[in-house]
Chain A
Amino acid sequence: MGVYSSSHERPYRSMLIVAVLAFLVLAAKLFELQVLNGEYYRELSSRNHIRSVMRPAPRGIIRDRNGVVLADNTPAFTVSLVSVEFDTTDTELLGELLNMDYSELRERLEAAEATPYRSTQIRSGLTVEEAGRVADNMYRLGGVSVEVLPKRRYNYGTSFCHLIGYVGLADSTRVYEGELAGRTGLERILNQRLAGEYGVVREVVDAHGRVVENFHGGDAEPSPGESINLTIDSRLQFTADSLIASTGHPGAAVVLNWKTGEILALSSVPGFDTNLFVGGISSENWNTILADPGKPLLNRAWATAYPPGSTYKIVTAAWLLESGIVTENTMPDPCYGTFHFAGSDFKCWGVHGRLNIVGALTQSCDTYFYRTSMLGDIDELAEFSRGYGMGAPVTDFLPGEASGTIPTRELLNQLFGQGGWGLGNLMIASIGQGEVLATPLQIAVTAALVASGGELPPLSVLKGEPESEVFWDTSTSEETFNIVREGMRQSVSSSRGTLHRSMNYLPVEVFGKSGTAESGQNEDHAWVTGYLQEPVPVAFAVIIEHGGHGGAVAGPVAAGIIEKILEISNETE
């Protein structure tokens, strides 16, 4: 036996004992974890989820007919949160970093709890500094992530606030919380096409929400939404906007091509900046918009029906001719300024003497229409007007389009009761007052129908995608159209025409009709409608709310729009 072998007995025993004790402790801990609490950890393990992160697709770009970008996407920092990974005791810290009220944040957190394993947007549109601050603190905020997501941008939000509309949080969560969808306008109508397909990335994440690695398979790249070209000419739209705004009144203008049915401008003034709505509008901005006396939320171009006033005489005149009540040469009793009938005074805006129908249109003589329409039937006028697109929407793609109203027996009975109304209602209707209501779009359509001889194709707003459903059927003879056209031509060209002063200077032949619609207590609505044959086949309608006299107030606006049309047409040639 060597010197050392005996002396190793004690360390040998104690080392073995220490080792056995240490291993027993490990075994005890293993027993606790695996046997006593195995089910608990098993449960935890199954909750260690692979996170499906939805990658929003960039929405389709919206351009005008010339390729001007009206709506596109810009990268924006967004803070998202996976609910299960977030420790709610960190709420205060998160609120501080995001500059959010506790209650506001609480609301978003509750929304996030609806999809606990998915990423939910908490706040979007962060500045680089704000995003950086959150990123710096991510290590202590489990489940919080900062992403760069495409954000909708409206380059001319105010001008197209009604047509294009805006996106916001989707009504019902289709795929993921925080999903955006078109809320109004074309954004809403065409949401399916614009939205594109969201992508999915399956990520394995640690408790910080930091990506440990991507899961193999099942990923899908987002595919961008379809880009859309409008028939709108933004130059024309902007011109109309600024001309209306220069009157100091709210108003609307519609321009369309009566040969193709393409809508070239749909202006409603004042508008609001749709960018304010992207990702949720602040209550401050919302209140500002609500408090605006110009009522920017009101869509005046196609969703508001006004008394059309004398612009409706285009339809009445055609009806009078078609129904045989008058011919081109019929000259009823003269206009003395007031027409006494059944104990009432039916006023004309002037004293026009004896006129035929062309003269009546040119000078917009109310008396002529009182005297002639009283020989007709109110339901026949209503039926005829329906053929001109009145009393019902003229498209099926403009959201919230107003129908307007054309009085019928049924309607009048409802309003006034059997016998509570009389011939006077028909006479008043014939000059576009009383119960008659129409949108500027409908008035533009009547002008376009006259211009095209009833052959106006369905209206369209998407370039290269003509619509197929027609909402009118004039069944009017070419002879009648010619007479109405002559009346409209002389409204401008005749020195007695209501639009002579404001529009005759134009270097092209303009067919027009003014309207001065009474609107109760306030100043009258000023209307102009009309069309060009050369060089561009356009029809238009302009209304200036409470602007006063149609020819004097709406006329210059329409003339300005025509100038722009001519300018554009010269450029393209």
Chain B
Amino acid sequence: MRQSEKTDWFFIVALTLLLGLGLMNVYSASGSQNTLFTHQLFFVLAGVLIFWGASVFPLRLLEEAVPFVYFSSLILLVLTIFFGSGPAGRWLQIGPLNIQSSEFAKLCVIVLTARWLPALRREYVTGGVSLYLTAVGLLTVLTLLQPDLGTASAILMIVFSMIYWAGFGFNWIFLFLSPLSAAVSSVKFVSWLAFTAVLSWVLYRSGAKPRRWVFFLVMTTVLAAFTPAAWNLLRPYQQARLTTFLNPEADPYGAGWNVIQSKVAIGSGRLTGEGFLKGSQNELAFLPARHTDFVFSVWAEEWGFAGSLFLLALYAVLAWRILAGARRSMNPFNSILAAGTAAFILIHVVVNVGMTLGMMPVTGLPLPLVTYGGSHIVTEMLLLGFSYNTIRNWRSY
């Protein structure tokens, strides 16, 4: 440990504003339910403590504790699958706390990836890749089983951002992504043909050996063939989410209803918004899930285009400061962990805000630091704490 750099005021101000505005927004969105605001206040205060702890925690210790973190997270996920409660059985109740274990799964995957990628880069060992893939895959599958499609997709996107950050090329990422792409392409025969053509081109360019050719082609073909069967395994509401996204007009009053109401709320905010506690869509309870999934719609209705841009700008500043810190960091683990955190923030913001704007499928992904809920705030504050740690201690190796 060396002497820390001075305070990154951009980071601190952006974080503080996000937390403060988020609290305000939850207050407005929760209407007469004061308990929601009180809980959120408690979560944020706890989050600040956790942030402070994480920002001074020796990251080397964390790196060494990764297996422990991994297995605790795994246990949480398994427990959730068997004893989950709440609306979709995604919460694990421990005493008075409802823990959303998929949030910790994200944290765990980011830490795990940060731990493994430098090693993978140094020595490209098939055994290492398999172990890592199995570990991440297990977490993703367990999250999917919960069932939390949104979180599972987010995990994958974060992981690929980190892989990219670690210096792996796009070919590598395409191959990594090939199982998912194969599944999606199976919707139409033509799209599957196109996918297979691109896959072959990537394999050719990366100079793959025959064994790898066979592995990828067979794997993707089998996946594409079985996707329709797997589709039927999805819960109806998950199917509805996907089809609504692919064709929103198909069910304007079904799952698309939330999005329509959200767009009405956002649009009616106009340039400067209707004012704090004055959003009629929000206050008259037309917005569904308004303190959770659609919290941004509340914000956009009450603060308008100006307020929406301001909020997005705060996230951008936060992500920019983290990426800058990650770029400077001399420690590969710290760097990749911070990059994963930035990806985490950016992906969550884009997916969540995109959802409220009708540009992304309706998933349960929270708006970082702003959506009501303890688990994701704790996770985010932990990751941001580690990132701030990285920013300030970029020289540590």
Give me the interface of A with B, judged by CB distance under 8 Å: 1-5, 7-9, 11-12, 14-16, 19-20, 22-23, 25-27, 29-31, 33-35, 37-42, 44-46, 48, 50, 139-140, 142, 204, 206-208, 212-213, 215-216
Contact = CB atoms under 8 A, between A and B. Distances in A.
Q: How large is the interface on B (under 10, 10 to 19, 20 to 34, 35 or more residues)?
A: 35 or more
Interface in B290-327: 300, 304-305, 308-309, 312, 315-316, 319-320, 323-324, 326-327
B350 interface: yes
Given A15-B339, A38-B268, A8 B285 contact: no
A42 B328 CA distance: 47
Contacts of A9: 327
Contact of A11 (B167, B300, B354): B167
Contacts of A42: 267-268, 270
Contact of B253 (A3, A37, A207): A207
A22 B268 contact: no
A37 B305 CA distance: 12
**Interface SS of A by simple majority:** helix
B271 interface: yes
B359 A25 contact: yes
A27 B309 contact: yes
Contact of A48 (B254, B266, B286): B286
A15 B260 CA distance: 31
B329 interface: yes
Contacts of B265: 41, 45
Nearest to A22: B350
Given A5-B328, A8-B165, A12-B324, 13 more contacts: A2-B329, A2-B331, A4-B329, A5-B327, A12-B323, A22-B346, A25-B359, A30-B266, A34-B270, A34-B308, A45-B265, A45-B286, A207-B260
B144 interface: no
A34 B161 CA distance: 31
Nearest to B358: A29
Contacts of A139: 253-254
Contacts of B327: 5, 8-9, 12
A206 B257 CA distance: 8
A25 B354 CA distance: 9
Contact of B320 (A8, A16, A25, A45): A16
A34 B265 CA distance: 9
B98 interface: no
A243 B252 CA distance: 64
B250 to A, nearest CB: 11
Interface string B165-179: 101000000000000
Contacts of A48: 261, 264, 280-281, 284, 286
B201 interface: no
A34 B266 contact: yes
Contacts of A46: 280
B331 A34 contact: no
Contacts of A38: 267-271, 305
Contact of B319 (A8, A19, A215): A19
A45 to B, nearest CB: 4
16 contacts: A2-B331, A8-B339, A23-B350, A29-B359, A30-B308, A30-B357, A38-B268, A41-B264, A45-B264, A45-B265, A45-B268, A48-B264, A50-B284, A139-B253, A212-B285, A215-B284
A30 B307 CA distance: 11
A33 B342 contact: no
Contacts of A35: 270-271, 305
B326 to A, nearest CB: 7
Contacts of B332: 3-4
B347 to A, nearest CB: 9
Q: Which 9 A-B pairs have the closest CB atoms?
A: A41-B267, A2-B330, A38-B270, A45-B268, A34-B305, A207-B253, A33-B267, A42-B268, A12-B327
Contacts of B305: 30-31, 34-35, 38
Contacts of A207: 252-253, 257, 260
Interface string B4-35: 00000000000000000000000000001000
B68 interface: no
A255 B286 CA distance: 62
Contacts of B312: 23, 26-27
A12 B350 contact: no
A20 B316 contact: yes
A4 B329 CA distance: 8
A15 B269 contact: no
Contacts of A14: 164
B345 to A, nearest CB: 9
Contact of A4 (B260, B330, B349): B330
B346 A19 contact: yes
B143 interface: no
B397 interface: yes
A295 B329 CA distance: 101
Given A12-B326, A30-B300, A208 B266 contact: no
B392 interface: no
Given A8-B326, A45-B265, A216-B32, A19 B316 contact: yes
Nearest to A1: B330
A374 B304 CA distance: 99
A142 B260 CA distance: 14
Nearest to B118: A4
A2 B253 contact: no
B285 A41 contact: no
B342 A34 contact: no
A35 B350 CA distance: 20
A200 B320 CA distance: 54
B284 A204 contact: yes
Contacts of B254: 139
B149 interface: no
Nearest to A24: B312
Contacts of A29: 357, 359
Contact of A33 (B167, B261, B263, B346): B263
Contacts of A4: 118, 167, 329-332, 335
B41 interface: no
B105 interface: no
Contacts of B270: 34-35, 38-39, 42
Contacts of A27: 308-309, 312
Nearest to B332: A4
A7 B167 contact: yes
A371 B346 CA distance: 116
Contact of A15 (B263, B328, B342, B353): B342
